[in-house]
Amino acid sequence: MREKVAVCEVGPRDGLQMAHEIMPTALKTRWIAAIAQAGVGEIEVGSFVPPKLVPQMADTEAIVKAALQQPGLRVMALVPNLRGAQAAYAAGAHGVGVPVSVSEGHSRSNTRKGTMEQVAEVRRIVEWVREQDRPMAIEPGCATAFGCAIDGVIPLEKVIETAVALAEAGVDAVALADTVGYGNPAQVRKMVRAVRAEIGDKLTKLHLHDTMGLGLANALAGLEEGIRSFDSALAGLGGCPFAPGASGNIVTEDLVFMLESMGFDTGIDLQRLIAARELLHEGVPAEPMYGQVPKAGIPKTYRARAPVHA
């Protein structure tokens, strides 16, 4: 048995929120289905935010309900506050991510709250969800943990303080997010060790961007430190509308190729994953599409894996 590594596709949320065009709901549903049928077991399908702020996410309720029809798929959504979490719960999402920026500047730009105010909002979400009949996972991310386009260098102590506060709020898991892609492998190793020393197995995931070209190197550093869950986006789409200079996420296709080539089990059929790019391009044809593996082609040395989902 090979060791499993989870890949969460965030393109439908993090990728499309920065797109200049709005992908039609029906096509977005087909795209998400194609990703799921390639074997991706978790997809962040949208965000429950005001449509006037992020119009690309206006159909998230419908998208969540459609995604729930995919067998075995864990359907996630991003929410900024309790109201968003309640909407995600009503739509049937299995879990929600909540952005909690370690950078005060980015926190106020993104959620109009300071860091600890946003932690308090997460605590409200936890308390509300625990009172409901159906469980829903709450998995916030420490955004801008590796640096910020607004505040610059973020002290490690502030990252630890934020992660500890989230763990104490009762969340199910915590992620470290390189929102603007400023991190480097040495920083990833140091931060993962330091945060894990304080919150243990609550630290589960890295959310990485490739702004400075170090995205996969940072993923490898996290992998070597025991991280077994990563966010990524098909074709490397993504960015944050409230973080100047943030570019795309690490490319799902390239991440899967690296992991599988190293002997890890993602459960993803790389050929089918690459084929899903066609639907993405159809929906947002003006957006650039990245990825070395799709560009070069899958080499003959690569051993194909059977997908998890039929």
Token pair 């630890």: residue:
160
- The H or E element that residue 95 is part of is strand 95-97
| Amino acid occupying residue 298 | I
Told to judge if 142 belongs to the known catalytic residues of this protein, a careful annotator would answer no
Cα dist from 21 to 101, 159, 213, whole Å = 27, 35, 25
Expressed in angstroms, the distance from the first to the final Cα of the chain is 20
CA distance 282 to 280: 5
Contact 246, 149 (CB under 8 A): yes
CA atoms within 13 A on the CB side of 108: 5
Catalytic residue among 8, 142, 148, 240: 240
| 187/151 Cα distance (integer angstroms) | 17
- Strand duo 137-138 + 99-101: pairing: unpaired
Q: What residues are annotated to the active site?
A: 240
